[in-house]
Amino acid sequence: MGAGVEATSEETRARFERAKTSLERAPARTTRPNAAFVAPGERIPGVEHGDFLRGHGTRAIATASTTDETEETLVATTAGVVERVNKLVSVRALKSRYVPETGDVVLGKVTNVSGKRWILDINARQNGVLQLSAVHLPGNVQRRRNDVDELNMRTLYAEGDIVSSEVQSVYSDGAAALHTRSLKYGRLKRGQLVRVTANLVRRLPQHFHRLEMDEFHDSVATGTHDVEILLGCNGYIWVGAPSAATAPRETELRREPNDAIDDLNEAYGDKVPLPQRENISRVALAVRALAELFLPISPPAVMDVFKVSKEWGVAVQDMLGQGFLTRILEREVDKRVEAYEQGK
């Protein structure tokens, strides 16, 4: 790469298309085997005789019937998955903005600091709101509700900062109220943000992970090359050097609860050593490669792509090339077939 125009020869393209087709035909690795995909204009299966309530992403059309009375059926208006709640039928789009739900872990970028609150871009239809009353001050000091307190807001989170938080509640108009009242949440440093479609990140019991890299390095101190990955439900994914967000238990014990998230970083200084930086880039590119192929993003999946890219000797900057993506697709097909064979 970098040297010439990347060959988009018929051969590579054909191989990529072939891998995509075989993935479509591979046994699905889903918990809902009868989930139906629909394209815009396609009739939604299993909806008959007007026995439905029309939800988002659908449109009712009259169909020709044998009798005089017209019958209605539903067609999809977006490409997505059919969802049913009793009689309500809706189509959830494959690519959409994030829809906040209470308790979701989200990452946001501070766009504005206004009186008593921060405004965060969280990839939703509306900006997220982080109230000054919804954060813990460093050192767990009690907040004094005065003007000085509001004036000092920027020392906590300033414009452009990336903040991990949780959705506290959702307003009636769909906007999210966030909070960072936990040791895990706060300003993120020493890492990079990867933006993907929100639907690729599933809601998991644990969204903050530390990927261990010891097997790839023969360093004296273990864990010095580790990479942490914070999966925001809104499709913002943080890949960086380990911080308090993913600190092991013993470190946590030494710390005062509700300390600022930064002071573990301070111990390292703000610098990131080069080998670790390369790991971070590789993990970030693994996330982007998965997103490019529209495969779900989970820590094991990311780690798997990371490992094979190292095994195959693929340079970090070539990880979005069609050659590597094709091999990842083919591997995914093999894995699904294997899982299916074992399940039988």
Q: Is 308 in the site for other proteins (CB under 8 A)?
A: no
Q: Is 189 in the site for other proteins (CB under 8 A)?
A: yes
Segment holding 329, helix H or strand E: helix 322-343
**19 vs 241, beta carbon nearer other proteins:** 241
Q: Is 242 in the site for other proteins (CB under 8 A)?
A: no
Closest approach, Cβ 3 to other proteins, in A, equals 7
Q: Is 260 in the site for other proteins (CB under 8 A)?
A: no
**171 vs 312, beta carbon nearer other proteins:** 312
Give the pair of three-digit tokens for residue 281: 């880039």
- Binding other proteins (rule: CB under 8 A), the pick from 33, 115, 160, 300 is 160
Selected range binding other proteins among 25-33, 71-79, 196-204, 280-288, rule: CB under 8 A:
280-288
Q: Is 136 in the site for other proteins (CB under 8 A)?
A: no
Q: Is 59 in the site for other proteins (CB under 8 A)?
A: no
Q: Is 8 in the site for other proteins (CB under 8 A)?
A: yes
Q: What residues pair up with 165 in beta bridges, in sequence order?
A: 106
Q: Is 235 in the site for other proteins (CB under 8 A)?
A: no
Q: Assess contact for 117 and 130: CB atoms under 8 A.
A: yes
Selected range binding other proteins among 29-37, 39-47, 95-103, 189-197, rule: CB under 8 A:
189-197
Dist. CA 110–CA 118, nearest whole Å: 7
Dist. CA 197–CA 231, nearest whole Å: 12
- Binding other proteins (rule: CB under 8 A), the pick from 201, 237, 264, 284 is 284
Q: Assess contact for 46 and 74: CB atoms under 8 A.
A: no
The 314-343 contact track toward other proteins, x by CB under 8 A, reads -xxxxxxx----------------------
DSSP 216-235: G---SSTTTT-EEEEE-TTS
Q: Is 153 in the site for other proteins (CB under 8 A)?
A: no
Q: Assess contact for 54 and 60: CB atoms under 8 A.
A: yes
Q: How many residues bind other proteins (CB under 8 A)?
A: 38
CA 69 vs CA 9, 30, 75: distances in Å:
56, 40, 19
Q: Is 285 in the site for other proteins (CB under 8 A)?
A: yes
Q: Is 190 in the site for other proteins (CB under 8 A)?
A: yes
**270 vs 338, beta carbon nearer other proteins:** 270
Residue 292, judged by CB atoms within 10 A of its CB (0-12, 13-18, 19+), counts as: middle
Dist. CA 233–CA 206, nearest whole Å: 11
- Cα 6 to chain center, whole Å? 29
Dist. CA 255–CA 276, nearest whole Å: 25
Strand locations in 181-271 (E): 186-188, 191-195, 208-211, 227-231, 236-240
**71 vs 278, beta carbon nearer other proteins:** 278
Count CA within 13 A, CB hemisphere, residue 341: 6
Q: Assess contact for 156 and 116: CB atoms under 8 A.
A: no
Q: Is 121 in the site for other proteins (CB under 8 A)?
A: no
Closest approach, Cβ 279 to other proteins, in A, equals 11
- Binding other proteins (rule: CB under 8 A), the pick from 39, 158, 204, 339 is 158
49-53 own/partner pairs: CB under 8 Å, 24+ apart: 51/87, 52/87, 52/88, 52/89, 53/87, 53/88, 53/89
- Binding other proteins (rule: CB under 8 A), the pick from 126, 192, 224, 298 is 192
**44 vs 106, beta carbon nearer other proteins:** 106
Selected range binding other proteins among 21-29, 48-56, 86-94, 273-281, rule: CB under 8 A:
273-281
Q: Is 266 in the site for other proteins (CB under 8 A)?
A: no
Name the residue among 190, 229, 202 with its Cα closest to residue 213. 229
Closest approach, Cβ 190 to other proteins, in A, equals 6
Residues that bind other proteins (CB under 8 A): 1-6, 8, 109-110, 158, 160-162, 187-193, 240, 270-272, 274, 277-278, 281-282, 284-285, 315-321
